[in-house]
Amino acid sequence: MGLFGKKPLKIGLIGLGKIAVDQHIPSIRGNKRLELVAGCSPHTRPEGVNAYPDMDAMMTAHPEIEAIAICTPPQIRHEIAKQVISIGRHVFLEKPPAATLGEAEAIKMLAEAKGVSLLASWHSRFAPAVEATRKWVSERQIKSITIHWKENVRQWHPGQKWIFEAGGMGVFDPGINSLSILTRILADSVMVKSADLHIPVNCDAPIQVEMDMMTEVGFPIRAEYDFLQTGVQTWSIYIESTSYEKLTLSMGGTELEIDGHTVIKQKEAEYAGLYAHFHDLIRAGKSDADFSPLRIVADAMLLGKRIAAPEYIE
C-alpha cells in the first residue's frame, strides 16, 4: 500500500449501524486528512454515504480505499478483519476488537504478517481528562480505585439484541470502556480476583457485574457495572492515594475533580482523537493493538460466579 502524502486517507466502513452514524461518520468527515469514500451494510443506508450490500461490492466500486473501519458486532469481526487484511488494507477495529482474545491475537498476527497498520480502538482512552489522570496517578502511591459504570441499556442500546447474546458481553460492552481507561492510567498489571455475573434467564451475557481486582503492587480495585440504571447515568472512576488525596474521573472521562475541585470539564471528542491516531499510525507504518481491557473481561468470565437474574425484556 503506498502512503498518501498530503492526500486524504481514503476510508471505507463495514457496518453502518448506530455507532457508525453517531461517531465514525462525523469524525471522519471532521478531519481534513481523511476522506469517507463508502460503507457497506446488508440493510442500513445512512444519508449521504455511498452504501453497498457487502465489502466485495464496496471494494469493486472503490478500489482506492486504503483503510477500513470495522463497526460490526464483535461476534463477526474476526472473519471480516481477515478479509480486509488479505487485500492489504489498514484496519480500525471498533471496541471490543473481537469476540475472544484468540481472535484478537489472530488478527494482530495477520496484520503483522501482511504489513498493514492495525488499531484496536479504545475510544475512552481519548477522553479529555484521561491523560491528566494518568499523570496524577503516576506521581502518587495509590490506596484504592473504585469504578461505577452504570447506564440504562434501553436508552443507550435500543434494539441491539446482539449485546446479550454469547460474545456480546452484555454490561461489559460499556464497562470495557472503564477498563480501557484503567489500563491506560496504571503502569501495573490488573488481575481479576472475583466477579459476580448477573445474567438474565433469557440472555447469555451479564446485565450487572460486581468485580474485585488487584494490581501487581497490591492495591484493590472494585468495579460495579449496571445496565438497569435509571435517572442519572454514572460513568465514574474514584481514586484515593495513600496520603488521602482523592480524584474523581466522571462522565466517561470528560470531567476531572481533585480533592473536591473541578480541574477539567470538557465535551467529549474521543472518536476525533481516535481517527487522528489511526491516520498517524498508518503514516508511521505502526500499529496499536493492546488487548488488556478484553483480557480483564475474559478473566472475569473465567472466574465469575454466574447468578440468575430476572428475564430481560426491552
**C-alpha grid cell, residue 204:** 447469555
Q: What is the pLDDT of residue 2?
A: 45
Q: Which grid coordinates belong to 304? A: 465469575
pLDDT at 4 over 80: no
**Is a pLDDT exceeding 80 seen at residue 78?**
yes
Query: Please, which pLDDT band fits residue 5 given cuts at 50, 70 and 90?
Result: low
Q: What is the pLDDT of residue 6?
A: 75
- Is the pLDDT at 309 greater than 70, yes or no? yes
pLDDT tens digits, 212-248? 999 998 999 999 999 999 999 999 999 999 999 999 9
Answer whether residue 268 shows pLDDT above 90.
Answer: no
* Average pLDDT of the residues of the chain: 95
- Note the pLDDT of residue 152: 96
Write down the pTM of the prediction.
Answer: 0.93
Q: Which of 95, 108, 114, 135 is catalytic?
A: 95
Write out the H or E segment, with its range, that includes residue 234.
strand 234-241
Angstrom distance (rounded) from CA 287 to CA 280 = 10
246 in active site? no
CA distance 110 to 80: 12
Strands of 67-70's sheet, edge to edge?
51-52, 34-40, 9-14, 67-70, 90-93, 118-120
**Lowest-confidence pick of 4-18, 112-126, 259-273:** 4-18
| Residues paired with residue 220 on neighbouring β-strands, in sequence order | 214
